[in-house]
Amino acid sequence: MFCNNCGKELPNGVAFCTACGAPQREDGAGAFDAPVSETAEPQTDSFGQPQSGAPSHEAPDGGASYQTQRNSFVPPAQNFAPPYVPPQPQIPSLGSYIAWLILTGIPVVNLILGIVWAVDKSYPARANFFRASLILLAISCVISVLFSTLFAGVFATVLPSIIYEFM
């Protein structure tokens, strides 16, 4: 048995073609069988007469429907998806960097905008810029606290000796 749609050879009794997926009729209507080659020996009985049910060299309708079905095969359309192209990140302009630097110079605005823009995922370059700015701000705060405590400790130890000398 061959597929009604694509002509691929199929085992008898299958419901769908394994190549193109076309449904096959169970009663065999519309399906075509493989032609018997011209060189095949016909099956005969002991008297040399063709046996009943032996395959003939032609289809029952003279082979016309087999040739029509065989020649009318059109391969299924192949729909290929276009190759994946990752989106290109936005590159900030020089003006954007200047505006960001001016905004980070305003005391309260820099903290608010820095936090908001650092978590914004729609513009990765700006988010990375403000993440770096917030990290540098945190590092500078830690360094300021360390130097302030160091200076206060030194001043606290030196101040009594200075006051004692002048008194």
Q: Where are the domains of the chain?
A: 1-40+48-73, 94-166
DSSP 22-42: -B--TT-TT-BPPPPPTTSPP
Q: How does pLDDT run across 19-63, given as a tens digit for each residue? A: 888 888 765 554 444 444 444 555 666 666 666 554 555 555 555
**Can you tell me the distance from the alpha carbon of 67 to that of 7, in angstroms, rounded to the nearest whole number?**
11
User: Does residue 66 have a pLDDT over 90?
Assistant: no
Q: Which residues pair with 50 in a beta bridge?
A: 44
Binning pLDDT at 50, 70 and 90, where does residue 152 land?
very high
Is residue 81 very low, low, confident or very high in pLDDT (cuts 50, 70, 90)?
confident
Look up residue 153 and give its two tokens: 């400790």
Question: What is the per-residue pLDDT for 166?
Answer: 72
Nearest to 24 by CA among 41, 38, 8: 8
How many Cβ atoms from other residues are within 10 Å of residue 114's Cβ?
19
What letter represents residue 1's amino acid? M
